[in-house]
Structure 1
Amino acid sequence: MVLFGGFKKQNIKAEYDQRLLDLINNLKEQWDHAAQTQTAVADSDIEMAQETALAKQKFFFIYKEARLRHIKNDHIQASVISYDHDDFQ
């Protein structure tokens, strides 16, 4: 099916932007999980620390790409929201 050039380009950009946002959310969840696991395990080893660091770096690499593409996310993960309201007074 042949679509108008600009319309097709917009749809493709929107689709890939959404995929990038989904990937960011997934990587953030993986990073949070790795950090929680490392904190929960009493005798965490260097491998756990490396896995957490790797998850963090993956997240920030993709996050930087999204910032370069000027992508905005309308979904805020619960792990990003601060529940300490004393900072806002």
Structure 2
Amino acid sequence: MFFKRPQHQVEQEGNQRLLNLIYQTKASWDHAKETEQAVYESHVNNELKERTKLQERKYLYLYERARKRGLHGKTNAGVIMQ
């Protein structure tokens, strides 16, 4: 009982961890897309394409979780340009 943290503090820490995970996953997905494009000319095997799809699915799943929580993070420049 002496070291119990308030519920809102625990929730905020969880939200921040989720946002950090989203940013890391987005960077990983972007890297996978760039790698796939870089070796596109050399007839990439399906494994590279599947890795890119997996990173995309991870990102979209985490993004939906954040939306359900009502989280807002830093603005993504790529989204603004589109």
Report the TM-score when normalising by structure 2.
Answer: 0.85
Which 5+ residue runs of structure 2 have no aligned equivalent? none
Aligned length, in residue pairs: 79
**1:15-58 Cα distance to aligned partner (Å, 9 max, x none):** 00000000000000000000000000022211110000000000
Runs of 4 or more off by more than 4 Å in structure 1?
none
Select the structure that is richer in helix: 2
Report the TM-score when normalising by structure 1.
Answer: 0.78
Cα separation, 2, equivalents of 1:79 and 1:44: 26
Question: Where do residues 42-57 of structure 1 align in structure 2 (5 Å cutoff)?
Answer: 42=41, 43-57=43-57
Which 5+ residue runs of structure 1 have no aligned equivalent? 85-89
Aligned alpha-carbon RMSD (Å) = 1.8
Give 1:18's aligned residue: 16
